[in-house]
Amino acid sequence: MPTVTPKLSYVSIDIETTGLDPETCQILEIGAVWDDWTKSIHELPTYHQLICHTEYRGSAYALAMNATLLKQLADNGKLQWLKPSQVTDSFAAWLKSCGWDGKTALTPAGKNFASFDRQFLKRLPRFEQVVKLRHRALDPAVLWWQADDEKLPDSKTCYKRAGLDGEVAHTAVEDALAVVRLVRLGIKQLRGMNHV
């Protein structure tokens, strides 16, 4: 936890999908973490939801990578899931339980959120009208970029630079938590370097 609590609360959001094209592919899973800087990472509120579709379309690579999710969705009785039309209200209710007033625009965080996740989320019924998100997103890659990098680092590189063990999970909640860890460690590192 930083010594001075930042005023910027944010919601780290991650999705798993059936492919890369938001026009033809679908969201299978949404995970989110609310961080207002008042709790340790293990105490932060999390959101997790599987999304069930009538039929699935996507790329072979993404479908194979998410085979476990698809098996969970196929086993109707064991896990709770929502239809795409139910996700917006469910997510908004969770945000309100975290302290969101339902009106203020929230800062989203995530790896590739602006270019990837947001493009899928805005295709959910009423999502953009109900869940108010700021246009700018907090991407931890900026916090772990180094002068000799020719591109922004991927999650695995950020983890290594942050001194965190383990692979990127590629499950929605774990990836959303990974972003929170990277943001918190990155902010701590920046404040340490620039402390006057």
Query: Is residue 196's pLDDT more than 50?
Result: no
Taking residues 153-174, report their average pLDDT: 85
What predicted TM-score, i.e. pTM, was given to this entire model? 0.92
**Are the CB atoms for 58 and 17 separated by under 8 Å?**
yes
Rounded Cα distance between 94 and 178, Å, is: 20
Q: Where are the domains of the chain?
A: 10-194
> Quick one: pLDDT band at residue 76, thresholds 50, 70, 90?
low
Q: What is the pLDDT of residue 70?
A: 92
Output b/e per residue, 154-168; b: 16+ Cβ within 10 A.
ebebbbebbeeeeee
Taking residues 73-98, report their average pLDDT: 90
Query: Is residue 193's pLDDT more than 70?
Result: no
**Are the CB atoms for 162 and 144 separated by under 8 Å?**
yes
Percent of the chain with pLDDT over 90: 79
Q: What is the pLDDT of residue 195?
A: 40
> Quick one: pLDDT band at residue 131, thresholds 50, 70, 90?
very high
Rounded Cα distance between 112 and 22, Å, is: 14
Q: How far apart are the first and last CA of the chain?
A: 19
Phi, psi dihedrals of residue 57, rounded to the nearest 5°: -130, 140
What class is the 10-194 domain?
alpha beta
Q: What is the pLDDT of residue 7?
A: 86
CA-based torsion, 13, 75, 70, 86: positive or negative? negative
Taking residues 125-130, report their average pLDDT: 97
